[in-house]
Amino acid sequence: MLDRCFFRLLSIILLVVSVISHANSQNNLYEDCKKQFQCGKIADLGYPFWGGNRQESCGHPSFKLNCTTADSQPTITIQSWDYRILDINNPSKSITVARNEFVDNSTCPTSPQNATLDNTLFNYAADVANLTLYYDCIELKNNTCDTAANNTSFNFYVSTSASNRTNTVLGCNSSAIVQVNQTSGEALLSNSSSIEVTEAIDSGFGLVWSANDEACRNCVKSKGVCGSNANNAGAFICHCPDGDDSEICGSNRFPLGMTLGIGLPIILLLVLGIILGVYFFKRKRNGKTTRSTTAAIVAGNTNVEQFMKNYGANVPKRYSYRQIEKITKSFVDKQGQGGFGTVYKGKLPSGQLVAVKLLKEEGGDSRDFMNEVESISVTSHVNVVSLLGFCYQGKKRALVYEFMPNGSLDRFICDDPSLRLELKLLYQIVIGIARGLEYLHQGCATRIVHFDIKPHNILLDEEFCPKISDFGLAKLCKKRQSTMSTMDQRGTIGYIAPEVSSRAFGKASHKSDVYSYGMMVLEMVGAKEIKDDDQTSEVYFPDCIYKRVVKGKDLQLPNATTEEEKELGVKMILVGLWCIQINPLQRPSMCEVVKMLEGNVDAMEIPPEPFKFSPSRAVINDSSDSSSLLSGIQSRNQE
């Protein structure tokens, strides 16, 4: 076994020598990228542009030109909008463009919209004016445009940034801002007929670009050619004549040929010496030590490819980092930021909206990341978020989820009264989360314990249907396994079950999620705002709530006005108090939680005091008056 490894290493060394020797020959990228190219009618093009027969390594990733035929105008896509290129001036780094859909459809596109501009790469030239087209204006009959899509006519009114006319035109149903040359815009003040407007738009407007300018200047000074690294997410690279591409050519190093001629023999001798030393050292080790060492290496290696092989068709799609950039349009629409990374809004090629969580790069441990991918890959439930794909490329890691328009639950249980949801809707959300957890604990082929249930990890779709997300701390175990070991504290302060922090309270299990769920339910119903008569700032709020429930006092929930809402609030508080019992054995399962939430509040038992292990239970029997529920609780406890 060891002899085979030795000869394999020798084969690898010979292969490396062959590759390096081949790299000493003429650099094909350098030769290809230093040539100028033609795209449509525009010739003599170079960096940062690419497209057609010119490969991406010769340009900037965001400067791709769409070349159709030799006699056509090329187009470029900026922030998902297509622009027709009329002229390119390399010395001034400026281009003249026109909105493609307006050129093709005259002044009457099917759905006129305002285009956005990527200001990190492009800026408007100094002589650009805004032209506003107002469509379907009832009071203006002088200008019309015909749309081929539905053969209907729309009146339009023109206003430029240099005009003294008001930009608000009564009776107009839609508008669009189009950029034009300032001279053309000023000419429209005296004549804004359909023909004149079309000519103004067709003449285009100017943009100036900036693409790794300083790095490219340094590269050219070092006799290199500017380009990008296809193996490193399109980062800038300087293609050099000797084949040793880097930031600049010839920087504090020998030419590659000299390096190979002088340094390669020395490097090979050193490598062979190390291999021989390891070889003879390994031979002295007994077979048991060798086997245990090999097993430890294999066990400690997180292999994404092996994961994908194990899960087969169930594994989400794997994206490259370049694809993630395209999905998020270079991360322009930021949705939120947390301790593990930032969430951006994106769109798949199919048109589906997604949320992309881009994880921070620090730290090389991929355990939590792959754990989240593995956990969600085995789930399918209406109350569990769907993972559509992931990216694992070097230090770049990202998760692609279905997009939730209403964001996370914490937005709606804050101190802002305008954002608070009705208690009936909160009650439905509470039931949905309980069903999702019941599925994770009992419905999956493998039990999943989340370990980080909190409002930030509950997402809401357009109909406020809750979905459990963020499985980075989750653990998978056998369905019959009641407890599990945790080597580190998992969860968020304020929601962590006591047994997760200290073994003195028991062992961590699926009941740890129940505790976190109970704390979240009490927070959702507004229990933190309930004050007891003798409460101080040091009193823990579940104690206060429990005393008021036992004493039969009005809980005075912040968003409960009707008797029905008060009853729902009491039901949620009783469920929450049951779930946060210190002793995990006294907490209900999520199946029992769902039954309590869907059942009659009068049939619910009063939970033990949260911080006592074995309290007696008082049962609420038949209540003759459901509108005075708390009075009924009080009277039965006095019995």
Instruction: List, by residue number, the catalytic residues.
Output: 452
5: helix, strand or coil = helix
Question: From CA 302, how far away is CA 338, in angstroms rounded?
Answer: 25
Strand residues in 394-433 grouped as ranges (E): 396-402
Instruction: Extract the tokens encoding 188.
Output: 């429209």
Cβ neighbours of residue 357 closer than 8 Å, sequence gap 6 or more: 340, 341, 342, 343, 398, 399, 401
Instruction: Extract the tokens encoding 53.
Output: 């027969």
Interior/surface letters 346-377, b for 16+ CB within 10 angstroms, e for the rest: bbbeeeeebbbbbbeeeeeebebbbbbbbbbb
369: helix, strand or coil = helix
Question: From CA 164, how far away is CA 517, in angstroms rounded?
Answer: 60
Of 180, 145, 142, 144, nearest to 161 (Cα)?
180
Instruction: Extract the tokens encoding 298.
Output: 């294999």
CA angle centred on 51, ends 45 and 54, rounded to 5°:
75
Instruction: Extract the tokens encoding 389.
Output: 């794909």
| Helix (H), strand (E) at residue 575 | helix 563-579
Q: With contact defined as beta carbons under 8 Å apart, do 434 and 593 qualify?
A: yes
Q: With contact defined as beta carbons under 8 Å apart, do 139 and 170 qualify?
A: yes
Compute how many other C-beta atoms are within 10 angstroms of the C-beta atom of residue 207.
Answer: 22
DSSP structure class, residue 358: E
**460 — alpha (psi -120 to 50), left (phi > 0) or beta?**
beta
CA-CA-CA-CA torsion sign (77, 81, 82, 87): negative
